[in-house]
Amino acid sequence: MNSTDVPRLSVRSPGDLIAAVPYLLGFHPADSVVVVAMHGKRVTFAARSDLPDPREPVEAAERMAEPARPVDEAARHLAAVVARQVADRATVLGYGPASRVTPAVDAVRAALADAGIPVLDALRVTDGRYWSYLCDEPECCPPDGTPYDTGSSKVTAAAVFAGQVALPDRAALAAQVAPVDGPERVALRQATERAGRRLADLLDSAPEADVLGGRTVRAAGRAAIRVAGRRHRNGERLDDDEVAWLSVLLTDVAVRDHAWERTDGRDADIALWTDVLRRAEPEFIAAPGSLLTFAAWRAGHGSLAAVALERVLTLHPGYSLALLLDDLLRRGVPPAHLDGWPAVRLPGVVRRRKRGRRGPR
């Protein structure tokens, strides 16, 4: 499941809404159920999940309990996410064949009703046509569906003008965070070996007072983060040794947290951590991938956050920051809850206080 907060788009018809969905999600959905939430007359939020297979029940919590269907579990999840947003109504759209879309849409409608969210319409979208589950008037909702043309919609034009991008599918979105390969990967592997030797030399040269080299590593990490941020703000790209050195230093939690406090939803943040995630060696992607997830979520790019987080958790399923962000995305916490970051707390996180110098006893 993924969700996003995006610049609001005004819609006047089901065709306009269908045209808006790919820009709300960042890609054209398929085999999906999407809930588009509205506040007043404006679209404010969209959440998507894959169409579940209604033939496969989830195991009951107790042997004698009635097993829950995946379609119902997914519906309740979507409704709970939407309920946390600034929304007073919603429309449900299912993409795919009627045999799979209908039970999913029905379940989501029921879950939204239980959550107190009125459903304006429920649509099935397939092969350039849509059908409404709430309208049976042949004059406006013909049995063979209503054709739509997203290319001629003003919503499409407005989204493109605003810089919104709709990729062909979710796989195209995932490709944006996929690791580089070929000669570039070989060069980065060699750069990471050099970074490892550089770190060992740094620790060997640490002052005696810095017993484990922690202060020395943190100082190097802050310097690397400062340089990387400045380079990306100026539209420059880090070289292989800079990427490798930064990725190695980010394994120190204090260095990672220093980067985290300086990461928000700025374009430069997203560009930096996307680049480092794609180029870092697999064992070092947890921190940059989590930082990209956070930056994308703060910017309202929920789908990008989801695919970045998926990469991290696939290779590093126990990484604490990734698990925290996974919970954040699954609960549908709105990015606006962290306006003022890092002065405000991330929901569910108790941040450590920095120790000040002790005064004289």
Confirm whether 355 is domain-assigned.
no
Q: How far apart are CA 179 and CA 285, in angstroms?
A: 10
pLDDT at 136: 84
Please say which residue of 133, 167, 201 terminates a domain.
167
Regarding whether 296 and 249 lie in a shared domain, the answer is yes
Q: How far apart are CA 156 and CA 177, in angstroms?
A: 25
Q: How far apart are CA 74 and CA 272, in angstroms?
A: 34
Confirm whether 90 is domain-assigned.
yes
Low-confidence ranges of the chain (pLDDT < 50): 1, 3-6, 58-65, 352-361
Regarding whether 224 and 160 lie in a shared domain, the answer is no
pLDDT digits (tens, 9 = 90+) for 77-102: 999 999 988 889 999 999 999 999 99
pLDDT digits (tens, 9 = 90+) for 148-167: 988 778 878 777 767 778 89
Q: What are phi and psi of 172, to 5 degrees?
A: -65, -35
pLDDT at 289: 98
Regarding whether 189 and 133 lie in a shared domain, the answer is no
Regarding whether 267 and 229 lie in a shared domain, the answer is yes
Q: How far apart are CA 283 and CA 231, in angstroms?
A: 24
Domain range enclosing 117: 2-167
Regarding whether 316 and 189 lie in a shared domain, the answer is yes
Regarding whether 147 and 217 lie in a shared domain, the answer is no
Q: What are phi and psi of 67, to 5 degrees?
A: -65, 145
pLDDT at 161: 66
253: helix, strand or coil:
helix
Residue 93's CB is within 10 A of a number of other CB atoms, namely 25
Token digits of residue 57: 């029940």
Regarding whether 142 and 196 lie in a shared domain, the answer is no
Query: How many domains is the chain partitioned into structurally?
Result: 2
Regarding whether 226 and 100 lie in a shared domain, the answer is no
The strand pair at 119-126 and 129-132 is best described as antiparallel
> Which residues contact residue 300 at a Cβ distance below 8 angstroms, ignoring those fewer than 6 apart?
4, 5, 6, 7, 265, 335
Confirm whether 271 is domain-assigned.
yes
3-state helix, strand, coil in the chain (%, to 5): 50, 15, 35
Give the orientation angle of helix 286-299 with respect to helix 240-249, to 10 degrees.
90
> Which residues contact residue 335 at a Cβ distance below 8 angstroms, ignoring those fewer than 6 apart?
5, 265, 297, 298, 299, 300
Regarding whether 193 and 97 lie in a shared domain, the answer is no
pLDDT at 57: 53
Confirm whether 351 is domain-assigned.
no
Instruction: Please report, for the domain that includes residue 123, its CATH number.
Output: 3.40.140.10
Please say which residue of 167, 194, 221 terminates a domain.
167
Token digits of residue 318: 């126990």
Rg (CA), the chain: 23
Q: Which amino acid is at 206?
A: A
Confirm whether 151 is domain-assigned.
yes
Regarding whether 284 and 187 lie in a shared domain, the answer is yes
Regarding whether 328 and 197 lie in a shared domain, the answer is yes
Instruction: Please report the DSSP string for 112-164 in residue order.
Output: HHHTT--EEEEEEEETTEEEESS---TTTS-TT-EE--GGG-HHHHHHHHTT-
pLDDT at 355: 43
pLDDT at 179: 98
55: helix, strand or coil:
coil
Please say which residue of 167, 198, 223 terminates a domain.
167
Regarding whether 189 and 327 lie in a shared domain, the answer is yes
Assess whether the previous peptide bond of 57 is cis (omega < 30° from 0): no
pLDDT at 60: 40
Confirm whether 93 is domain-assigned.
yes
Q: How far apart are CA 72 and CA 60, in angstroms?
A: 13
Confirm whether 117 is domain-assigned.
yes
Confirm whether 359 is domain-assigned.
no
